[in-house]
């Protein structure tokens, strides 16, 4: 026995089958020593219980010693497996079943991987660990095919980290039907941060670059300004243009600035990976 598997008796049945099933699915396995199919099925269920690591509780019931409990749950043959949620049977089967079919049954009642990552990310946000929460939420967003509620949580963290351009991209993909009050609030925060980032220095450099797009000095200075206001992607795009024209611009300062921004994003960050590849392509 471990934290994922428990033996059920008359003494703990209420706690295991009712109270625990209010928190997560409980898979009840009715078995007996004389039952050969039970001996085939039990190792499969135990393997899954350990693999899913607490997403469900495997509750093993010896039908010979707990005959009243077996009768109460309508068990007529062994092995019988029941899935309990909120104290009620919602699924099950009789007889040994292949692992694939058992997994398919469990998947109907267990949280999806992206929901687990969302919960993990939300916990990190609650603890103030936004930098750690970001990759977790980004993974949940990707795995869930960019589900709207996860998109809003991801955008909120990006805004808190002043990664405004990335937040704008995430919010821009949210469909009209999902643009609720939370979405409107995030858009307001986005607009405020965008306005705050437009300093007089940035505006002057933008105008200079608009008049002469080949002005590497203006592009380099604007990239530095962008990086200081966490507009990383815009900064990297400008520096990449400068490096295309002159890899050693400003005695290598442009290249070093580019590398510093990529490094500041953190290992494994998709934006960092994208711009590392772009620089490698330029170099080789």
CATH of the domain at 31: 3.40.30.10
State residue 2's pLDDT score.
75
* pLDDT digit string (tens) for the chain, length 284 residues: 578 999 999 999 999 999 999 999 999 999 999 999 999 999 999 999 999 989 999 999 999 999 999 999 999 999 999 999 999 999 999 999 999 999 999 999 998 889 999 999 999 999 999 999 999 999 999 999 999 999 999 999 999 998 998 999 999 999 999 999 999 999 999 988 888 778 889 999 999 999 999 999 999 999 999 988 888 999 999 999 999 999 999 999 999 999 999 998 887 888 899 999 999 998 88
Contact (CB, 8 A) for 182 and 160: no
State residue 149's pLDDT score.
96
36 & 64 share domain: yes
Instruction: Let me know if 196 is exposed, middle or buried by CB neighbors in 10 A (0-12, 13-18, 19+).
Output: exposed
Nearest one of 264, 163, 193 to 154, comparing CA atoms: 163
93 & 12 share domain: yes
10 & 101 share domain: yes
129: domain range?
A: 113-196
Which of 196, 225, 241 is at the close of a domain? Answer: 196
Which of 74, 107, 140 is at the close of a domain? Answer: 107
Pseudo-torsion of CA 208, 212, 218, 222, nearest 10°?
Answer: 70
55 & 9 share domain: yes
74 & 162 share domain: no
State residue 86's pLDDT score.
93
Q: Return the CATH number at 227.
A: 1.25.40.10
Task: For residue 93, report the phi and psi dihedrals to the nearest 5 degrees.
Answer: -160, 160
**In the structure encoding, which two tokens stand for residue 154, read together?**
């991801």
218 & 233 share domain: yes
CA distance 137 to 128: 14
103 & 136 share domain: no
Which residues participate in catalysis according to the annotation? 35, 38
Q: How far is CA 217 from the centre of its chain?
A: 41
100 & 172 share domain: no
69 & 144 share domain: no
Which of 72, 88, 107 is at the close of a domain? Answer: 107
pLDDT digits (tens, 9 = 90+) for 216-244: 999 999 999 998 888 899 999 999 999 99
pLDDT digits (tens, 9 = 90+) for 91-113: 999 999 999 999 999 999 998 88
Q: For the chain, what is the domain count?
A: 3
| Sequence-separated contacts (24+) of 45-53 with Cβ below 8 Å | 45/81, 45/102, 46/5, 47/99, 48/99, 48/102, 48/103, 48/106, 49/4, 49/5, 50/2, 50/4, 50/5, 52/4, 52/106, 52/110, 53/4
Query: With the C-alpha atoms ordered 204, 242, 259, 250, is the resulting torsion angle positive or negative?
Result: negative
State residue 138's pLDDT score.
95
State residue 207's pLDDT score.
94
73 & 165 share domain: no
State residue 1's pLDDT score.
57
Task: For residue 144, report the phi and psi dihedrals to the nearest 5 degrees.
Answer: -85, 10
Could you give the count of Cα atoms lying within 13 Å of 155 in the half-sphere of its Cβ? 26
156 & 237 share domain: no
207 & 188 share domain: no
Q: How many residues does the chain have?
A: 284
**Helix 113-126 vs helix 130-143: angle between axes, to the nearest 10 degrees?**
160
Nearest one of 84, 65, 25, 70 to 49, comparing CA atoms: 25
């Amino acid at each position: 026995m471990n934290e994922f598997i428990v033996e059920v008796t008359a003494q703990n049945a209420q706690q295991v089958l009712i109270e625990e099933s209010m928190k997560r699915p409980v898979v009840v396995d009715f078995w007996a020593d004389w039952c050969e199919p039970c001996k085939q099925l039990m190792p499969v269920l135990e393997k899954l219980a350990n693999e899913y690591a607490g997403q469900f509780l495997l509750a093993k019931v010896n039908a010979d010693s707990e005959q009243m409990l077996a009768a109460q749950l309508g068990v007529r043959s062994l092995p019988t497996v029941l899935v309990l949620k909120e104290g009620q049977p919602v699924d099950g089967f009789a007889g040994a079943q292949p692992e694939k079919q058992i997994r398919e049954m469990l998947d109907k009642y267990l949280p999806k991987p992206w929901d687990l990552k969302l919960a993990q990310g939300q916990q990190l946000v609650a603890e103030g660990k936004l930098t750690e929460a970001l990759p977790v939420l980004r993974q949940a967003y990707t795995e869930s095919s960019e589900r709207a509620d996860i998109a809003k949580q991801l955008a909120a963290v990006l805004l808190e980290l002043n990664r405004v351009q990335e937040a704008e991209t995430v919010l821009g993909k949210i469909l009209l039907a999902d643009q609720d009050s939370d979405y409107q609030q995030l858009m307001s925060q986005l607009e405020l941060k965008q306005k705050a980032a437009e300093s007089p220095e940035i505006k002057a450099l933008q105008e200079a670059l608009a008049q002469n797009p080949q002005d590497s000095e203006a592009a380099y200075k604007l990239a530095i300004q962008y990086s200081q206001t966490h507009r990383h992607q815009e900064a990297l795009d400008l520096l990449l243009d400068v490096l295309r024209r002159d890899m050693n611009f400003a005695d290598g300062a442009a290249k070093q600035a580019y590398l510093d921004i990529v490094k500041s994003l953190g290992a494994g960050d998709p934006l960092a990976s994208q711009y590392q590849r772009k620089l490698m392509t330029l170099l080789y």
